Structure 1
Amino acid sequence: MGLFQEFRQFAIKGNAVDIGVGVVLGAAFSGFIDSLVKDIILPPIGVLYSKINFQDLYISLSGMTYPSLEKAKEAGAATINYGLFITASVRFIIILFTVFLVVRQINRWKKPHQHPLDSMTKKECPYCCMPIPTKAIVCPNCSSTIKKQENKRKAGPTWRIM
């Protein structure tokens, strides 16, 4: 499975431990990632695009123009701050990807410590072909009743019709 597919599954199907780790790591990395985005990543991108400061990208809803977002706020103008949104989005993606990498590594560390008999105590459901516990009577995947296969021979001759 590729890295991108694992990332997508993590983002969609997180469990409580993954979310807890994410909250803690997100809080711990918040200041670091914020500085990384504002001071390292976005300034070179802004230089490439005609010396744009992403934090000064806004739309004034009053119709007036101001030299910066700070001046618009001082004047009390209502603004849509899409530059700050871009900054926050980049920051969020970096934090989410970092948390994913940490949780992915934690899950790799967990695999060797699984019980060695777990893989040997499985059988295949004859109806849906999914692995189920050996002692299962009802398949948890397809809800089919599993008949216990016994190797008893019937008494008397067996007839075949051809």
Structure 2
Amino acid sequence: MAGLIQEFKNFAVKGNMIDMAVGIIIGTAFNNVVNTLVKKVVMPPLSLMTDDVNLAERKYVLKEATETNSEVAIGYGELLEVMVDFLVIAFTIFVVIKVINRYKRKAEDPKNKTVETPKDIELLSNIERLMEEQNSMLKNRQ
């Protein structure tokens, strides 16, 4: 039990739990933004293009409602809305990751002086330079 508590303490102290909580909160807020964007900005023009049909309410009725049973239908309009939500989220995440990777590559490039190079990359770069000097000295001896 003490090991489990220590492992949880290490997890929480290292910031993993805080990073995860921040990610979940931002993700939830972003989901609300995307839902509003799709329902209030993207779908109304699509409805206009389809003669004022609200796409979210579009469905294929398999069995009409009766006095004793409710309607059985496939709600493909709602599926379209969810797919548009997904595409907006996927594209946004793609763009964000692309920007992050660009900055990451700049930071890891030892020749790029505009961004401070991380110490581990700088050390590896120095080792590589020293090995090249050593190899050229060995070639000159022969």
CA deviation vs aligned residue, 1:36-64 (integer Å, no higher than 9, x gap) = 111111111111211110111001111x2
Give the Cα separation in 1 of the matches to 2:125 and 2:62.
62
1:84 to 2:78 alignment: yes
Q: What residue is the counterpart of 1:160 in the other structure?
A: none
Q: CA deviation at 1:26?
A: 4.2
Query: For residues 12-91 of structure 1, what are the structure 2 equivalents within 5 Å?
Result: 24=24, 26-62=27-63, 64=64, 76-91=70-85
Q: Secondary structure at the match of 1:79?
A: strand
Rg comparison, structure with higher value:
1
> Normalized against structure 2, the TM-score is what?
0.56
Give the Cα separation in 1 of the matches to 2:40 and 2:59.
19
Q: CA deviation at 1:79?
A: 1.4
Task: Compute the RMSD of aligned alpha carbons.
Answer: 3.0
Q: CA deviation at 1:115?
A: 5.7
The one-letter amino acid paired with 2:70 is G
| Unpaired runs of at least 5, structure 2 | 1-19, 111-121, 133-137
| Unpaired runs of at least 5, structure 1 | 1-19, 67-71, 122-133, 135-149, 154-162
The one-letter amino acid paired with 1:57 is R
CA deviation vs aligned residue, 1:61-110 (integer Å, no higher than 9, x gap) = 11x2x8xxxxx9xx721211100000000010000100111111111111
Q: CA deviation at 1:27?
A: 3.0
Greater RCO (CA < 8 Å, at least 6 residues apart): 1
Give the Cα separation in 1 of the matches to 2:100 and 2:29.
17
Give the Cα separation in 1 of the matches to 2:77 and 2:125.
52
Q: What residue is the counterpart of 2:95 in the other structure?
A: 101
Q: Give the structure with the larger helix fraction.
A: 2
The one-letter amino acid paired with 1:55 is A
> Normalized against structure 1, the TM-score is what?
0.49
Runs of 4+ aligned residues of structure 1 deviating over 6 Å after TM superposition are none
Give the Cα separation in 2 of the matches to 1:83 and 1:119.
56
